Amino acid sequence: MLLTTLASFGLAPAAHMQPPAAQGVAAAPASVMSVRVETPAAAAPNAQKWGDELRTALAARSHEFRPARASEKAELVVKVDSVSAAPNGGSVMNGALVMGGQVKPFGLSYPGENPSPGRGVRRNLRKLAEQMKTAPPPIAPKKK
């Protein structure tokens, strides 16, 4: 009703001037990103399991990610370092995202004992990777 009222006064943008998403047309999909999930060989079994589950979850999101080939340098590397008990009774997963020389450590807290790569990780991983792409490269300290 408000949009109709605004349009009648010429205050609302015309449909042909709105971006495609506003007109009900889907925006062009982003390119598929190659990803590798790494866990240290000496990692505890729960960290290995978490890495395996994340690989499977990301492979299912084939419109956003694809597993990097063995001979290929992945655009995004997710390192799963450890999964441990949290002091408040949950679990904490520690890891890092690596992209283009940038390393972003992170920790995820879970209320249960057996964390798995939940919807939040799968849903937000692409957004985090895109932010890392557009972030300025880290400034190297000057050598003395």
Cα 87–chain centre separation: 27
DSSP 8-class letter at 70:
T
pLDDT (tens digit per residue) in 33-55: 999 999 998 888 888 988 888 88
Look at the pTM and tell me if it is higher than 0.85.
Answer: no
The DSSP string of 15-33 is GGGS-TTTTTPPPPPPPPE
Are 115 and 86 within 8 A, CB to CB?
no
Residue 95 scores a pLDDT above 60:
yes
Protein fold of 33-134: Double Stranded RNA Binding Domain (3.30.160)
Q: Determine the pLDDT at residue 134.
A: 73
Average pLDDT over residues 93-119: 78
Average pLDDT over residues 71-90: 88
Residue 32 scores a pLDDT above 50:
yes
Q: Determine the pLDDT at residue 83.
A: 86
End-to-end CA distance of the chain: 66
